[in-house]
Amino acid sequence: MPDPNVPDIGPSPSPDPSRAAGGLRVTVDLNRCQAYAQCCYAAPDHFTLHGAEALHYDPAPTAAARDAIERARVSCPIQAILVEDAGSGHP
Amino acid sequence: MTCDHLVIVGASLAGLRGAEAARQAGFAGRLTLIGDEPHRPYDRPPLSKQVLTGSVAPAATALPNLVPLAAEWHLGSAAAALDRGERVVTLQDGRRIAYDRLLIATGARPRPWPDAAQGRLAGVHTLRGREDAAALRASLAEKPARVLVIGGGFIGCEVAAACRDLGLPVTLVETGPTVLAGVLGTYLGAVVGALHEARGVDLVFDAKVEALEDDGTGRVVRARLADGRAIETDCVVVALGAVRNTEWLTGSGLAFDEGGVDCDPEGYVVDTEGRPDKAIAAAGDVARFPHPLYDGRRVALEHWGHAAAQGAHAARLLTGHGAGPYDEVPAFWSSQGGVTIKSVGLTEGADSLVIAQGDPKTGRFLALYGRAGRCIAAVSFDSVRWLPAYAEMVAVRAPFPPIRGGVDQGRLSEMAPGLAQRDET
Ligand SMILES: Cc1cc2nc3c(=O)[nH]c(=O)nc-3n(C[C@H](O)[C@H](O)[C@H](O)COP(=O)(O)OP(=O)(O)OC[C@H]3O[C@@H](n4cnc5c(N)ncnc54)[C@H](O)[C@@H]3O)c2cc1C
Ligand code: SF4
């Protein structure tokens, strides 16, 4: 496997505010989401259900939300929540 | 044949998930991503939903990168040509990138308004990318007197719903008899139409917008319908479906048109003689491929889950970490006006429909589509808990209509889905 600490090379991509702040990137696979709402209990500021089944979520939480987002991620029974953590050393 | 350098053209969902899958499978060679947008891969579904209502910023939808990529990125540079003999992709600025294996993931763009000058009027929008969403959001925030949505597909419906969320007057004009007639058929299309009507969307069916007119200063003020009616509007969203980004393949010898680049069942692209090129695969919205679940009918999907899954499949195929036909069951979701629609399978050509669970009158139900006595698609409205069981029936092409368990439950009544019948060829 390539060394995760090797930065990406090539022309630098456009500045990404969430990255600069050490924030996270979140997306939910809404095909698989069953609207069980466990994530909404785990991190109510970042995941909410609208209507019966429309899950709204914050796709760019700040670093301060790391623990809450991680709680939400592991609480999802079908692992539909995908998170990239700037603190993880990923590009 | 080994792959030392995997080049991916199109740095969005299919391209990113492809890059990740190659690394996850153990591909340790060079990895290059080429994207014409200046941004890292970002998510599009929020752009017609929470971004328009203002709860998510247009720039906030960057896709999480799930494994280290150690990739070379060429962002803001479009691929302009493909030379398969030399195995070189030429960028618009003239740079040449040699590949061992190439993943084509250039997606699609909105079908433009047929009159280019009218399409350029201030206040006229299409919606695909981050900048489109930011511009439309800015227009909506200025409280237009009336928004006109042209086209009743998923994006048109979601935009109209977002306008109502914002309290804006909105008219949706559709050439067909209901919204979503092409994907869901007129039976469920009418259910969705009623939902939007109840939320205050003005729906105009069986009508065609013929021209967009300006006030002499280049700002749109009115739309003229073919039957002579006029709709006063200061914000127009053209939502007429998508065309695939395939022009850059001109001269490559590959089989493509605006409906996609043709692939064999595994995902390798084919040339105009139908011969696969085993150095190149395609994935996501741009790929047109024979789906095994649908008798090998060629389909090009515009589904988030499909782009992710096919991107991963194609990258594993190219790097020697996977083989076999791509047979993921198609699935998508949409949310509009607080209602979540989830679909599994493809409804095209359905000759019958049953409401297998719930009741459209209550807003929560599941419809099952059949064709020639087999289940081909299931669509749930705020009833996702029922979906997995029916998705399974679609995946195995179970007999249609399904047999209901329990003596007290009567036979399901079959209805016409209201979909165009496809020719048997
Ligand atoms: C507003 C909107 C809302 C949506 N909502 C949903 C939803 O609710 N549910 C659902 O299932 N699906 C939804 N979709 C569909 C889903 O987003 C797409 O299926 C998915 O984005 C396809 O991914 P892709 O990577 O194949 O193509 P794209 O996302 O289109 O990416 C292709 C990339 O390639 C780039 N490119 C094009 N030509 C070149 C070139 N010559 N050189 C270099 N780069 C090039 C493009 O600019 C783009 O960045 C939505 C789409 C949109 C636009
Ligand atoms: S916990 Fe998972 S399945 Fe439940 S609502 Fe959240 S994302 Fe959806």
Q: How confident is the model at residue A2 (pLDDT cuts 50, 70, 90)?
A: very low
Predicted ipTM? 0.92
- pLDDT score recorded for residue B412: 82
Are B5-109+243-318 and B112-240 the same fold in CATH? yes
Report yes or no: B304 and B297 within 8 Å, Cβ to Cβ.
Answer: no
At B184-235, the pLDDT tens digits run: 999 999 999 999 999 999 999 999 999 999 999 999 999 999 999 999 999 9
Count of CB contacts below 8 A, A vs B?
125
Which B residues 322-341 touch A at CB under 8 Å?
A: 331-333, 335, 338-340
Q: How far is A35 from chain B (nearest CA, A)?
A: 8
Does the distance separating the beta carbons of A31 and B305 come in below 8 Å? yes
- pLDDT score recorded for residue B209: 98
At B338-351, the pLDDT tens digits run: 999 999 999 999 99
- pLDDT score recorded for residue B410: 62
**Ligand 1 contact via B248 beta carbon (within 6 Å):** yes
- pLDDT score recorded for residue A17: 47
- pLDDT score recorded for residue B236: 98
User: Tokens standing for B40?
Assistant: 């890292």
- pLDDT score recorded for residue A20: 53
- Chain A residues whose CB is inside 8 A of the B305 CB are 29, 31-32
Class of the CATH domain delimited by B112-240: alpha beta
Q: How is B292-356 classified by DSSP, letter by letter?
A: GGGTTEEE----HHHHHHHHHHHHHHHTTS--S---PPPEEEEEETTEEEEEEE--TT--EEEEE
Q: How many CA atoms lie within 13 A of B297 on its CB side?
A: 15
Q: Any idea where the domains of chain A sit in the sequence?
A: 16-85
User: What is the Cα–Cα distance from B31 to B239, expressed in whole angstroms?
Assistant: 35
**Ligand 1 contact via B132 beta carbon (within 6 Å):** no
Q: Which CATH superfamily is domain B5-109+243-318 in?
A: FAD/NAD(P)-binding domain (3.50.50.60)
User: What is the Cα–Cα distance from B192 to B226, expressed in whole angstroms?
Assistant: 25
* The ligand 1 atom nearest the CA atom of B310: 26
With a cut of 70, say whether residue B65 has pLDDT above it: yes
At B232-258, the pLDDT tens digits run: 999 999 999 999 999 999 999 999 999
User: What is the Cα–Cα distance from B62 to B412, expressed in whole angstroms?
Assistant: 45
Nearest C-alpha neighbor of B185 from the set B365, B396, B392, B368: B368
User: Strands A54-57 and A47-50, how do they pair?
Assistant: antiparallel
- pLDDT score recorded for residue B421: 75
Nearest C-alpha neighbor of B172 from the set B183, B190, B184, B157: B157
At A73-85, the pLDDT tens digits run: 999 999 999 999 8
**Ligand 1 contact via B45 beta carbon (within 6 Å):** yes
- pLDDT score recorded for residue A13: 46
Q: How confident is the model at residue B292 (pLDDT cuts 50, 70, 90)?
A: very high
What phi and psi, each to the nearest 5 degrees, are found at residue B250? -55, 130
- Residue B130: CB partners within 8 Å, gap ≥ 6? B37, B39, B42, B47, B58, B59, B61
Lowest mean pLDDT among A12-26, B64-78, B362-376: A12-26
With a cut of 70, say whether residue B406 has pLDDT above it: no
Does the distance separating the beta carbons of B38 and A18 come in below 8 Å? no
Q: According to the CATH classification, is domain A16-85 in 3.30.450.20?
A: no
**Mean pLDDT, residues B367-389 taken together:** 97
| Sheet containing B220-225: order of strands | B209-214, B220-225, B230-232
Q: Any idea where the domains of chain B sit in the sequence?
A: 5-109+243-318, 112-240, 339-419
- The distance from CA B51 to its chain's CA centroid, rounded to whole angstroms, is 18
Q: According to the CATH classification, is domain B339-419 in 3.40.50.2000?
A: no
**Mean pLDDT, residues B353-358 taken together:** 96
Q: Which residue has the tokens 């890059």?
A: B19
User: What is the Cα–Cα distance from B397 to B318, expressed in whole angstroms?
Assistant: 30
Report yes or no: B137 and B130 within 8 Å, Cβ to Cβ.
Answer: no
B277 inside 8 A of chain A by CB: no
User: Tokens standing for B22?
Assistant: 């190659």
At A28-71, the pLDDT tens digits run: 999 999 999 999 999 999 999 998 999 999 999 999 999 999 99
**Ligand 1 contact via B256 beta carbon (within 6 Å):** no
Using CB atoms, which residue from A18, A32, A54 is nearest to B335?
A: A54
Element (H, E) at B358: strand B352-359
Q: What is the mean pLDDT of chain B?
A: 95
Decide: helix, strand or coil at residue B48: helix
**Ligand 1 contact via B35 beta carbon (within 6 Å):** yes
